Amino acid sequence: MAANTLNVLKPSVNNLTARIFVRAAGLDFEDPLGLLIELASYRFEPPFGCTHADVLLEAHKIRVERGDYNIDQVHLADAIEALVGRSRGSLSDDRLPKDPY
């Protein structure tokens, strides 16, 4: 039977997983030998040409620079924006949207 075991206040000792950048589906299965299988997926899709590891490394650098304790969704968003900014050329000095009129 599937059980939702994601409890932020009481994390399990045998299930130490960084859940900031992973969205758990809430489905945990335990086989007869005690192996815990948890269905999870990343909370983000990396930009074209980048891997999940690239995004997480950039998010880690941003987190350390800001002095935060762990990687949060804002760090992931800023990391993706930075990776896209470096990997895609632009004719403009800035990438902010402009008024078309």
| DSSP collapsed to 3 states, 35-60 | CEEEEEEECCCCCCCCCHHHHHHHHH
Predicted confidence (pLDDT) at residue 76 exceeds the cutoff of 50: yes
Give the count of domains, the chain.
Answer: 2
Please tell me whether residues 17 and 34 are part of one structural domain.
yes
Has residue 17 got a pLDDT over 70? no
State the pLDDT at residue 57: 94
Contacts of 80 (CB under 8 A, 6+ apart): 44, 46, 47, 55, 58
Q: Is the pLDDT at 89 greater than 90, yes or no?
A: no
Beta partners for residue 33, in sequence order: none
CA–CA distance, 72 with 74 (Å, rounded to integer):
5
How far apart (Å, rounded) are the C-alpha atoms in residues 35 and 90? 50
Note whether residue 38 is domain-resident. Answer: yes
pLDDT band for position 30 (cuts 50, 70, 90): confident
Tell me if 3 sits within 8 A of 39, measured CB to CB.
Answer: no
Name the residue with higher pLDDT: 19 or 52.
52
Q: What is the mean pLDDT of residues 1-9?
A: 40
Q: Quote the domain boundaries for residue 67.
A: 52-87
Q: Bridge partners of 37?
A: 29
Residue 83 lies in a domain: yes
Question: Stretch 62-74: mean pLDDT, rounded?
Answer: 91
**Could you tell me if 39 and 1 lie in one domain?**
yes
